[in-house]
Structure 1
Amino acid sequence: MNKVTRLDNGTIEIILTLPWSDIKQVYDKEVDEAVKNTQIPGFRKGQAPRSQVEAKLDKSHLYSHSVQHLLPDLYTAAVKSHHLKPILSPQIKITQGQEGHDWEFSAVTCEAPVVNFTLPAKLPKELPEKLDFLRKQAAIKIPDLLVEEETNHRLTALAENITKLGLTTDQYLSTKRLTPTDLKGQTSQEARIDLETEYILLHIQVKQKLPDRKSALDYLQKLV
């Protein structure tokens, strides 16, 4: 039985239960394959006793491989049965894994935020002010997981650019008078604002049946 929990921060946690019988079945196939390809002194290749071959194998690796084989289908089935529409690959961690018992995993992801607002009769004149106004009015709840993903992407890109400039991260932070915590917080805030803006523009694009993002910006620019 899989359980879905919608968290306050906009993320979704799916508790996945992987039956021990399924894990054991894949594990046994892995061991059988190893027996076919293993040669132990005193036995021809593929003829060594299964117990001796299994004793030489890395069980944790075999179980890990078995789980990797089974989890994608289990996750996909849970998403389908609960009618979820995740927009990020799940962050999966094991919460229970003991031989002879069903294993449990936590899969954390998120759906696109809900955007529902009506364009007011009067808006500020300039586009940046219009977007600020709409962000406050719409009060979109961007999932923390989505903000984190975008923040990490931006920090990675920044680190690459810093390296291309021949600087170290410490040198860059020194010139900006920032600590690593300051930089991450600033980047996270910018990411959240930009994501809110993008979902507002997407909402306008869909509602007004416009072809693309630029058309949504042009439409918004003309409103007064």
Structure 2
Amino acid sequence: MADKITSVIAKEDNGNIQITFAIPSDVIKSAEDETIKEFAKDTEIAGFRKGMAPLDKVKDKIPQSTLIEHSLSHVLPKALAEAVTENKLQIAIYPKFELISAKEGEAWQIRGTTCELPKFELGDYKKAVTGELAAASIIVPGKDSADKSASGQISRDKKEQIAIKAILENTKIEIPQILIEEEADSRLSNLLGRLEKLGLALENYLASMGKKAEDLRADYAKQAKEAIALDLILTKIAESEGLKIDQKEVDAALNMSQVDIKEKDQNPSETDNRKRLMESILRRRAALDFLINLS
């Protein structure tokens, strides 16, 4: 069909998935018309009552980039859903879209970059963790005394560090590049927010750390890769061990984390999403607790 959106899937070595869409000009024209009608409701043009201006004059008032962005928002969600279904994809994040070509009268080319969660095997994580914990419990005079009691008992924090290091080293898992970039961007954004509150410039912060911007980005990318891997591994361990979280525990944790949010002000779907997120966090916490108690 001439008006059917087509897509091509390409899986890259870094774990990313490229979905390239070809959107027929007729589909684009229809989406643009809908966008212009939406803008017309609030557009004020001299000589016409609000919402009554001719659509061609309304179009002239809309920046081209805005028209393209809003028109694609009418088209891409459905096109993505069809591509995901047809190719049996289980995407982990909503794609980052890039406009490749948008010539008048021709099919538009749009590229979306996303990924699936990596598939991996856990390996013998119990043996790896218990071995490392046993080795760490050996008392060596003058070494790691701050992490042990006189009887050689390892502190909880140290046990967690040992368990985390053991499962990361014992599990081969390839994290898609786009997931790493997303997490690194989030961490950088949080840092910039904190610096802004403190009235510090990023350049001064970097100078105080003796680092360049690219060094900071590389550090955050490494941290992001390990954090994502750890979350996935702990989630799989929780599934493997059949660890469950009581709903009362989830509710209690939510109440502690959002004391300033009134129940009546919460959107039901947002509340459900927060509950699912909190449950996943608690399950990973339970998996880590399980590991440090193996010894």
Bin the TM-score by the shorter chain. 0.7 to 0.9
The answer to whether the 8 Å contact 1:90/1:109 transfers is yes
Question: How many pairs are equivalent?
Answer: 218
Change (3 A) 1:213 1:40: closer
> SS state of the match for residue 140, structure 1?
coil
Q: Which residue matches 2:92?
A: 87
> Structure 1: how far apart are the matches of 2:107 and 2:46?
33
Which of 232, 243, 246 aligns to 1:210? It is 243
Structure 2: which 5+ residue stretches go unaligned?
1-5, 134-158, 245-282
> SS state of the match for residue 110, structure 2?
strand
Change (3 A) 1:18 1:218: same
- Please give the per-residue CA displacement for 1:81-118, whole angstroms capped at 9, x wherever unaligned: 21212221211111222222221110001111212122
Scaled by the length of structure 2, the TM-score of the pair is: 0.65
Greater relative contact order (CA < 8 Å, ≥ 6 in sequence)? 1
Is 1:101 aligned to residue 90 of structure 2? no
> Structure 1: how far apart are the matches of 2:99 and 2:67?
15
Structure 1: which 5+ residue stretches go unaligned?
none
Runs of 4+ residues over 6 Å off in structure 1: 37-41, 45-48
> SS state of the match for residue 2, structure 1?
strand
Per mean C-alpha deviation after superposition, the further-off stretch among 77-86 and 142-151 is: 77-86
Scaled by the length of structure 1, the TM-score of the pair is: 0.83
- Please give the per-residue CA displacement for 1:49-101, whole angstroms capped at 9, x wherever unaligned: x8x75895658354543222112211121112212122212111112222222
Which of 212, 215, 239 aligns to 1:182? It is 215
> Structure 2: how far apart are the matches of 1:163 and 1:57?
35
The answer to whether the 8 Å contact 2:121/2:172 transfers is no
> Residue type matched to 2:285 in 1?
K
The answer to whether the 8 Å contact 1:17/1:102 transfers is yes
> Residue type matched to 2:13 in 1?
D
> Residue type matched to 1:223 in 2?
L
> SS state of the match for residue 192, structure 2?
helix
Per mean C-alpha deviation after superposition, the further-off stretch among 155-164 and 52-61 is: 52-61
- Alpha-carbon deviation of 1:148? 0.6
- Alpha-carbon deviation of 1:159? 1.4
> Structure 1: how far apart are the matches of 2:24 and 2:242?
47
Q: Which residue matches 2:178?
A: 145
> SS state of the match for residue 107, structure 1?
strand
> Structure 2: how far apart are the matches of 1:162 and 1:47?
47
